[in-house]
Structure 1
Amino acid sequence: MVLALVGVVGGLLGGMGMGGGTLLIPLLTLFCKVEQHTAQAVNLISFIPMAIVALIVHAKNKLIDKYKVLWIIIPGVASCIGGCFISKALSGDILSRLFGGFLILLSLFMFIGQLKKKN
């Protein structure tokens, strides 16, 4: 039941383009007691069908800039290979701390960005 709820939350956020994995990974590790490496792998695999559905809907709504997408995909795929090797070399504890640090930095950037918009 908890896994299904985690899937619902991840799907809703992913469908809105808000990075369902950003929440899915902590939910899996904290509430489902899944090891960090496994949680990240589950996130990547579960992301595929959700991304396909979101892509179809966003394409129908003409929200995709193909030029920008290409500039993101090409270096993203290339650097993904390096990220896989780095992830494999790190312990789950270090990987978890790096992910948590990333979430904190991302939150700060978003918070500061919103403050700048108001001023």
Structure 2
Amino acid sequence: MKLILTGLISGIISGMGIGGGVILIPSLVLFSDVAQIQAQGVNLVVFIPSAIIALLTHKKEGNLDSKYNKKIIIGGIIGALIGSILAVKIEENNLRKYFGIFLLAVGIYELIKKK
């Protein structure tokens, strides 16, 4: 039940475009005794169907601007390749720390940014 609830909350956040991994990865590591690298792998598998549903919904609502898509997709593919290679080479404790620092930085940015 715990995993279904985690998936539900992660899916809602993902569908909003915020990034369900922000919820999913820490939840798996803290509450399900899953290794950080495995949690990140699970996040990628969960992301695919969630992203497809969210993409179709946002497309239907007219929230996609195709002039940005191709360049961002190319950069995203290259970044995902580099990131996945790095992730499997970084020690798990360091990976966890880097992820925490990233989340903290994003949170601080969101708190102080101007509208």
Instruction: Determine the structure 1 residue equivalent to 2:73.
Output: 73
CA distance in 1, matches of 2:56, 2:25: 24
Residue pairs, 1:25-36, within 5 angstroms: 25-36=25-36
Gaps of 5+ in 1: none
Gaps of 5+ in 2: none
RMSD: 0.8
TM-score under structure 1 length normalisation:
0.93
Q: Give the drift of 1:3.
A: 0.5
Q: Give the drift of 1:95.
A: 0.5
Q: Give the drift of 1:35.
A: 0.3
Q: Provide the secondary structure at the position in 1 that maps to 2:49.
A: helix
Instruction: Determine the structure 2 residue equivalent to 1:44.
Output: 44
Q: Give the drift of 1:53.
A: 0.4
Instruction: Determine the structure 2 residue equivalent to 1:94.
Output: 94
Q: Provide the secondary structure at the position in 2 that maps to 1:63.
A: coil
Q: Provide the secondary structure at the position in 1 that maps to 2:64.
A: coil
Q: Give the drift of 1:47.
A: 0.6
- Structure 1's consecutive aligned runs of 4 or more residues displaced over 6 angstroms after TM superposition are none
Instruction: Determine the structure 2 residue equivalent to 1:14.
Output: 14
Listed one character per residue, the Cα deviations across residues 54-108 of structure 1 (whole Å, up to 9, x for unaligned) are 0000000010011112221111101211111111111111100000000000011
Give the total of aligned pairs: 115
Q: Provide the secondary structure at the position in 1 that maps to 2:12.
A: helix
Instruction: Determine the structure 2 residue equivalent to 1:5.
Output: 5
CA distance in 1, matches of 2:60, 2:76: 24
TM-score under structure 2 length normalisation:
0.96
- The one-letter amino acid paired with 1:62 is G
